[in-house]
Chains A and B, each alone.
Chain A
Amino acid sequence: MSDIARDRILRLAPGCRLNSVPGQEDVLLIPEGAMQARGPARTIIALCDGTRTFDALIEELKSLYPTADPARIESETAALLTQLRDRGVLEYG
């Protein structure tokens, strides 16, 4: 189970940002290095922009991926956010 609260605004911590270089794959740059960001993970990271809560993020993802299993969207998103938070990438609360 994830302990990501549903009603807090999500945004990347200072010093963490998605980097888009034309012709290269996007990466999430963090103070000590970089993380790959592709596919749905990239979308989720991009949506942690300080404008939406976890609940709102899930709604957004459901509309972006209408054929995906909603329960799976929720559990996998929570898992990714937990991982990001534990690495200090997600500003939270």
Chain B
Amino acid sequence: MSHQLQAIIAEVTHRCPLHCVYCSNPLEMQRRDAELSTEDWTAVFSQAAAMGGLHLHLTGGEPLARADLTELVQAGRSAHLYVNLITSGVGLDERRLDALIGAGLDHIQLSFQDVEEGPANEFAGTRSHAVKLRIAKMIRQRRVAFTLNMVVHRRNLGRLAEMIAFAAETGAQRLEIAHVQYYGWALRNRDALLPSREQVRQSIAIVEAARARLKGRLRIDFVLPDYYAKYPKPCMSGWGHQQMLIDPAGRALPCHAAGVIPGLEFANVKEQSLRSIWEDSPAFNRFRGEGWMPEPCRTCDRRARDFGGCRCQAFLLSGDATATDPVCTLAPAHAMVEDVLRRVNRSSESENGEWVYRVDSK
């Protein structure tokens, strides 16, 4: 089968105490009063498990903003899912952490905005770094898998070596060095966030050296920013191939950004079963297979590997969701990515571009 559900990404809320300049949530967020109930989520998790789903990623916004998070973890585990919490840590204390682990939480992914407090708080638009340091210590004292996620971009990539050293000290098993991806709010701030070619080049050498040095102690995941790659990323391992995202109000999407693509209607898990959405909904079937592909994807020997890249990025950059992802060097629309790269490589890395903070109505 070309599509087998592996993971459910549950955006349990869009509420968040952070206001990151690269926030990946949609520009239009779901409101609190529209959020699914504990029972709604519980039903989603058991349907996902029955379809052969294995992993549950609880994300947001900040999942800790939900008072019933422990029950959601419990519901995921009861459904035999592997439960991962993707969090800023804000809202966590010893008691709550113990309750989450007691409920069966398998893995915590704690995000950091930087290794230095000043810039970290600046990027997050809130004073959260000191809290995160305390939370990291709390996590490592307990028996739960711990991944530290460091978001990198133009303004902090120069501190990559320090970030890696910091991650190793926290006792995390894994470090995910996550380049900002240009969707949602991050696209608005792209020119201030995109690293220079030289920064990217240096970062590769730093990561390679660190991987060798820390082998057996800290695993490092690092993917080049796709604007600098030769070929696009295999976004979501293919549209509707392995993952399903449920937004706070229950809309089922093939990925977190799919809402930007015009003409797609997303069914709601309150009204339709997960299986029928996964198998039969036009939105999930829209970019499955190869029938939708344009040239050069249609005849490209990489088409089964990267699926023509990201549909959302294709739309955001070229206005056409069926186009080859413009970051691909073979894409007809690639010139616009080169224009962006020329622009950001002309200005100095130390120049602080203007950016806009996310402010949302509650």
Binding site for B on A (CB under 8 A): 13-17, 19-21, 24, 27, 29, 31, 33-34, 88
Contact = CB atoms under 8 A, between A and B. Distances in A.
Contact of B173 (A15, A33, A34): A15
Contacts of B55: 29, 33-34
A26 to B, nearest CB: 11
A20 B54 CA distance: 11
Contact of A15 (B49, B52, B80, B145): B145
A24 B106 CA distance: 20
A24 B145 CA distance: 25
Contacts of A14: 143-146, 173
Interface string B27-61: 00000000000000000000001001011000000
A33 B55 CA distance: 8
B107 A15 contact: yes
B54 A19 contact: yes
A19 B80 contact: yes
Closest 9 CB pairs of A and B: A15-B145, A29-B82, A15-B107, A14-B145, A21-B80, A31-B107, A14-B143, A31-B145, A34-B54
B6 to A, nearest CB: 8
A36 to B, nearest CB: 12
B111 interface: no
B117 to A, nearest CB: 28
16 contacts: A14-B146, A14-B173, A15-B106, A15-B145, A17-B106, A19-B54, A19-B80, A21-B80, A29-B106, A31-B106, A31-B107, A34-B6, A34-B54, A34-B55, A88-B174, A88-B219
B54 A13 contact: no
Interface string B229-264: 000000000000000000000000000000000000
Interface centre among B6, B54, B82 (most CB of A within 10 A): B82
A3 to B, nearest CB: 11
A64 B144 CA distance: 31
Contacts of B54: 19, 27, 29, 34
Given A14-B143, A17-B106, 11 more contacts: A14-B144, A14-B146, A15-B107, A15-B144, A15-B146, A15-B173, A19-B54, A29-B55, A29-B106, A31-B147, A31-B173
Most buried by B among A15, A16, A24: A15
A63 B337 CA distance: 63
A24 B82 contact: no
A20 B55 CA distance: 14
A14 B101 CA distance: 11
Contacts of A27: 54
Given A29-B54, A88-B174, A16 B80 contact: no
Contacts of A21: 49, 80
